[in-house]
Chain A
């Protein structure tokens, strides 16, 4: 409601036709039969009462005023010959314009009523549906889940049988370092062994990250969820 369009109107009239139509309606006259010249005086009274206006606004009102005055003069002096320079619309043409404008105003009123009734439609905002990134496969997701399940089950079994083993990252780091020093290349699956517990897997993983950070090893994974290959970084490992 704050964003209402700046209304270019004069004393509540949206232009000269609006004012003329208003006069016809005020006097309960019929647009079809009214002698438009008869409205000249009332029209001029209204125009004179208007406050200071921008020039182009005034000119539109004055142009119609002069037309009305001419029509009035003609109706008073039917014998008046058209002046040679006299051009522009006849009374009938002006009437046709006024009628057409009356229709426009009526339709505008109907549209306005629809707006006020507020019975509008809404479309769905936003365009396309966001699809997940490509590359993920349902099978990979399923096998990852089954691995997690397997780990969880093992963990639970061990919880029941014996207290969980304790691993230290430091210890595991040394082990892996030694292994890599000996073989140059080893896979993550091998490091985990056949039946890793969650604790063992986490410690092994952290140890790998630490070794990678120190530049001892390189890590490579060919594709999503594939096994991780650990290789020795020769130059560095010699120094360490």
Chain B
């Protein structure tokens, strides 16, 4: 549900809705539920620490991804919106198959087209992605651990534009 919808139904200003959402998130702290945000969409989901029990109840299979799929997914997650060519430039291999796999599993989705020659499709992660990885929002994505990783990041950030 989007913030705008919530505002319309509850009859509150965006600011009020935001406060209410923050209150709700705080109220869920330590319970079996929590709020998850994907862009403008808000959703109530079960808390990750209870995943084993909920999965057992739902009979849900654990998601498994190959190393190649995980790499592609991490590029899309950290760089979104991103085109297939940009992902391929970073990984150095063809990513057709992995992008298809990730999209069919609803972990990534199309986000319109890039205004560049050929108008390539842009990809971004879905709220299913957040769910599968137990993230409350994209701000929750794990950061690179190594200190030089952080240092490198600034230099590396500009490469895709050169390559793409």
Q: Chain A interface (Cβ within 8 Å of chain B)?
A: 1, 3-9, 14-18, 32, 56-57, 60, 64, 93, 96-97, 99-112, 114-115, 118-125
> Contact: B93 with A115, CB < 8 Å?
no
A124 to chain B, nearest CB (A): 8
> Contact: B48 with A120, CB < 8 Å?
yes
Q: Chain B interface (Cβ within 8 Å of chain A)?
A: 34, 36, 43-49, 51-52, 54-55, 58, 60-71, 73-75, 77-78, 89-94, 97-98, 101, 130-134, 141-142, 144-146, 148-149, 152-153, 155-156, 159, 162-163
A18 to B95, CA, bound (A): 14
Residue of A nearest to B73 (CB): A111
Residue of A nearest to B145 (CB): A106
Residues of A within 8 A of B68 (CB): 5, 7-9, 14
Q: Which among B36, B89, B148 is the interface contact of A121 at CB below 8 angstroms?
A: B36
Q: Would you list 18 pairs from A and B whose C-beta atoms are within 8 A, ordered by A residue? A: A1-B61, A14-B67, A17-B93, A18-B92, A100-B90, A100-B159, A101-B92, A104-B75, A104-B78, A112-B67, A112-B70, A114-B134, A115-B63, A115-B64, A120-B63, A120-B132, A121-B47, A121-B48
Q: Which among A8, A93, A120 is the interface contact of B93 at CB below 8 angstroms?
A: A8
Residues of A within 8 A of B71 (CB): 14, 104-105, 108
A23 to chain B, nearest CB (A): 14
> Contact: B91 with A122, CB < 8 Å?
no
A104 to B60, CA, bound (A): 28
> Contact: A108 with B67, CB < 8 Å?
yes
> Contact: A97 with B163, CB < 8 Å?
yes
Residues of A within 8 A of B48 (CB): 119-121
> Contact: A1 with B156, CB < 8 Å?
no
A8 to B130, CA, bound (A): 25
> Contact: A103 with B153, CB < 8 Å?
yes
> Contact: B90 with A104, CB < 8 Å?
yes
* Closest CB pairs A-B (n = 9): A15-B93, A119-B48, A121-B45, A17-B92, A100-B156, A108-B70, A107-B74, A5-B101, A110-B142
